Chain A
Amino acid sequence: MYARYLEEASRASGSAPSLTRRQFLGLTTLAGSGLTLGVLLPGCGSAGPGGGAAAAPAAPLEMPFVRIAPDNTVTVISKHLEAGQGVWTGLPAIVAEELDASWEQMRVESAPAKVPMYQNLAFVPLGVHAQFTGGSTAVANSWEQLRQAGATARAMLVAAAAQQWGVPAAEVIVSEGVVAHTASGHKASFGELAGSAAKQPVPAKVTLKDPASFRIIGREKLPRLDSRAKSTGVQQYAIDVRLPGMMTAVVARPRRFGGKVKSFDATKARAVAGVVDVVEIPRGVAVVARDTWSAKKGREALSVTWDESAAEKRGTAQLLREYRALGRGKQAVTAAQAGDADKALMHAVHRVEGEFEFPYLAHATMEPLTAVCALSADKCEIWAGCQMQTPDQAAAAAITGLKPEQVFIYTLAAGGTFGRRATPDSDFVSEVTSIAKATGGKYPVRLIWTREDDITGGRYRPLNYHRIEAGIDKDGKLAWRQRIVGQSILIGTPFEPVLVKNGLDPTAVGGNAAEEYDLDHVHVSWTQAKVGVPVLWWRSVENTHTAYSKEVMIDELAQAAGEDPVAFRLKFLGKHPRHAAALKLAAEKAGWDRPFPQEKGRGRGIAVHESFGSVVAQVAEVTVTGDRIAVDRVVCAVDCGIAVTPDVVKAQMQSAIGYGLSAALLGKITLTDGHVDQSNFHQYQVLRLQDMPRSVEVYIVPSTNAPSGVGEPGTPPIAPAVANAVRAATGIRLHTLPFDLAAARRASA
């Protein structure tokens, strides 16, 4: 839903601002002041008949988002975290396109933490000036900015060439990383021209390409820039950072959420070989040691008494009882209202209803949370897979008493995030900084969360309960009444004043039926549940549950009306042409018009959903054997505007399908008396290779719209598509996640 928020805010304030020319120029001048020495490399000065470029000193062209080096590499400065979603390929592709670079010369590196230069422009209209990666906005908010950056650098290379060769700039051509003047036969590489280009004035205005002439953007297979490093073990993550004298820390945290340290006895922990310090920090007690194993053993030997007076002590069963009661209560905030849902439902010709339950879910990134901190009197350096550099920088500054500009964040590739590394209170970055402070900056310290720390550590996708009644009246109009009960992700965080309006958290209710279908009569309301379990955005946030109940209910309504699920949906998508197009494309590619084999246990289902500005439709084919659900094939259609890197878009759809399927088939975090019941992958089960559908086909809806998100939007439709397929195969309705067919059979008996 905040995609819609953003669109509205953007419209209200005009287009998202970019760097002013003055800022841009200032940075260019600053950066051009000699990061690389102007050394003329012998034998490297001349390429082609003209060779005029040899006269210029070898120096880089440095700009906020692009560096062209004398060695002819073009490095794109990524303000966004690469966590697998492909921004280290997508962002360079945008620059390379406007620059007319060759793909082989492209490189990428992380930007430092710096606003406004590297802020996420998508959130600027809301008054948020922060550098962060989230909401599937990386490519979307960088689109104009990086096209401008590429075109500006290109214009400066052209101006440098024209000046050196004494030819009109209009006659200079650029292709595949080579600048040339046909009539005179002059030719130079980007690297040869970089030094002189840096001395050219920054053009006030540049012309961007006509998308029809794109040759890198939209190329079917553009190799990822990080595949080699990630296939040879050399990609560096925060957990791999080694600094001289560095120690490793693990933290003993409260066993119940909201607990605090009452007292601790470190005698035995300190006696463990390799342990160097045991210190209390706001979130627990840190054991610092010479290596990870010693730190873990030290923590095992540590004795902590917890103050659990304010801790959450309820279990999941009790919470769900309370949620169901809240779902029937009067206290609620209206999220959407039109027509008269109560009356329309009373007179409905076809009517369905359902109660849905969604568990807490852990993100379970493969690289557990890790960060390294080196603290001195006037400087705090942090190495981490940071998703929210600006809040992380502010948090470290507050802890150390330094100014934010004295906090240097080095953003490394993250071993997955799915939202986990974007905590409004910077949990793991705060922890490592607190440990560095508590140990007086004596040594650099690396914090590692174990898998158990991760699974039991909270920040879950919130537990949710939905109640829906949906119907069709005699005129064929759709009526919908829905109550959603769940915790708020935003209330109580710094985002609350910006994003929460009239007590409604958009990250609790977005993507509900009122937003996605033409509804004549609708009432959607939300009741905030207050629970001490910390919750967070989890790949596609609220859409993980709102899409599910919506797409399952609409499918059951189609069945009640005796209509085809695709044709039925299309009747209510008149105002949503992108939904209709994606739905039709997925159906066509899946062969929806052909009858599905009437074999026992086989079924086919469909779902469509918009999130983060992109629309995704998926058809799932399943085989049910006893109580086991196997997903055989998924056909996916995505409308994400212009697909900058189509193979990355496809990879993200494959990934999101697997991630969503993992939650649908296996994922749940439960609590007993406030203690998390799961601790590692034997209990918090996730999708493995043998359960991934053999066939996942992805089709991209052709579009000329600006790019929208792809990291998250593939997740919401898969669970309902599979549930609808299972219902087609067995008649069993799946309203509780993860799927438990045996329990659902018992409930329906």
Chain B
Amino acid sequence: MSIKLTVNGESRELDVDPDMPLLWAIRDHLELAGTKFGCGMALCGACTVHIDGQPTRSCVTPVGSVAGKSITTIEGLASPAGKAVQQAWIALDVPQCGYCQSGQIMSAAALLGANPQPSDADIDAAMSGNICRCATYVRIRAAIHQAATALAAPKPAGS
């Protein structure tokens, strides 16, 4: 059975078991490796993608359930909030091993997309599902605040 979905703005067609988690469809069949496997039970957030803009754990989302939907992975992250988050991540050297960071960034981008000026409590709530064993949490908090500040700043003239 063929499943049609939109991934990073492109129409894609998959001929896989509809029960296959979206994570493995993305990684093994669409060959987009930026989305990571961490637990397979929606416990760690490493597999976070956006489905119609909502942060979603792809490891427990059957690919058949997202037919016709629009999926954004780290490779296609292009929203202003997403870009601001990535820039802050790089500027503050957030990543260590880096493995969980695609998921962290997807969660942070969704947070800032919905709430451009999050409080510490908002950040705690939005990011509590994303585990980082390198415990880069101090810098994740700082980078989210920095990205929020950058988003709020007036755009330079001419841009």
Question: Which residues on A are within 8 Å of B, measured CB to CB?
Answer: 83-86, 223-224, 226-237, 239-240, 242, 248, 273, 291-294, 364-368, 413-418, 448, 450-452, 647, 651, 654-655, 657-659, 661-662, 680-682, 686-690, 692-694, 696
Bound-state CA distance A657–B74 (Å) is 29
Question: In the bound complex, do residue B36 and residue A367 qualify as a contact, i.e. CB atoms below 8 Å apart?
Answer: yes
Say whether A655 contacts B94, CB under 8 Å. no
Are B38 and A654 within 8 A (Cβ)?
Answer: no
Cross-chain contact B33 with A240 (CB below 8 angstroms): yes
Question: Which of B17, B73, B94 contacts A227 (CB under 8 A)?
Answer: B94
Which residues of A have CB within 8 Å of B133?
364-366, 416, 418, 659, 662, 686
CB distance from A638 to the nearest CB of B (A): 16
Q: Is B34 positioned at the interface, with any CB of A under 8 Å from its CB?
A: yes
Interface-facing stretch out of B50-58, B100-108, B148-156 = B100-108
Q: Does B134 contact A (CB under 8 A)?
A: yes
CA–CA, A686 and B45, complex, Å: 13
Within 8 A of A (CB), among B57-100: 73-75, 86, 89-90, 93-100
Asked if A293 meets B86 with Cβ closer than 8 Å, knowing A415-B36, A657-B135, the reply is no
Closest residue of A by beta carbon distance from B103: A366
CB atoms of B38 and A451 under 8 A apart: yes
Docked CA distance A367–B96 (Å): 13
User: Which residues of B have CB within 8 Å of A224?
Assistant: 93, 95
Partner of B95, one of A227, A237, A273: A227
> How many B residues, CB 8 Å from partner?
57
List chain A residues, Cβ under 8 A from B3. Answer: none
* Separation of A664 and B34 alpha carbons in the complex (Å): 32
| Known contacts A231-B105, A659-B135; A689/B124 CB under 8 A | yes
Cross-interface CB contact of B24 among A229, A292, A651, cutoff 8 Å: A292
B134 pairs with A451, CB closer than 8 A: no
Contact (Cβ within 8 A) B96 A293 = no
Whether B5 sits at the interface, judged by CB under 8 Å, is no
Does B7 lie at the interface of the complex (its beta carbon under 8 Å from any beta carbon of A)? no
Residue of A86, A294, A688 ringed by the most chain B CB atoms within 10 A? A688
A227-B89 CB under 8 A given contacts A84-B97, A233-B75: yes
A231 and B46: CB pair below 8 A?
no
Contact B135 A366 (CB under 8 A): no
Give B88's nearest chain A residue, CB to CB.
A231
A680: chain B residues within 8 A (beta carbon): 39-41, 43
The verdict on A655 contacting B135 (CB below 8 Å), with A237-B99, A292-B24, A366-B100 known, is yes
Assuming the A-B contacts A239-B36, A690-B128, A694-B120, are A654 and B98 also in contact, with contact meaning beta carbons closer than 8 angstroms in the complex? no
A291 to B138 alpha-carbon distance, docked (Å): 36
How many angstroms from the CA of A658 to the CA of B138 in the assembled complex?
9
Given contacts A365-B133, A366-B97, 5 further A-B contacts (CB under 8 A): A84-B95, A228-B90, A234-B75, A240-B27, A366-B46
Residues of A within 8 A of B138 (CB): 654, 692-693, 696
Q: A230-B101, A233-B75, A366-B132 are in contact. Are A223 and B124 (CB under 8 A)?
A: no
Q: What are the residues of chain B within 8 A of A647 when measuring CB–CB?
A: 93
Which residues does chain A contribute within 8 Å of B132, judged by CB atoms?
A: 366, 658, 689
Known: A368-B37, A415-B99, A682-B43. A291 touches B29 (CB 8 A): yes
A-B complex: 8 closest residue pairs judged by Cβ atoms: A658-B135, A233-B34, A415-B99, A230-B98, A84-B97, A84-B96, A233-B74, A230-B95
Let me know if A416 and B99 touch, CB within 8 A: yes
The one of B24, B27, B43, B73 that contacts A681, using a Cβ cutoff of 8 Å: B43
CA distance A236 to B139 in the complex (A): 22
Interface string of B14-35 (1 = CB under 8 A from A): 0011001100100111010111
How far does the Cβ of B79 sit from chain A's closest Cβ, in whole Å? 14
In the complex, residue of chain B having the shortest beta-carbon distance to the beta carbon of A82: B97
Q: Is the CB of B95 within 8 A of A231?
A: yes
Identity of the chain B residue whose Cβ is nearest the Cβ of A697 in the assembled complex: B138
12 contacts between A and B (CB under 8 A): A231-B101, A232-B34, A232-B75, A233-B35, A292-B28, A293-B21, A293-B28, A366-B132, A450-B40, A654-B135, A680-B41, A690-B125
* Chain A residues, Cβ within 8 Å of B120: 694
Which residues of chain A are near B35, meaning CB under 8 Å?
233
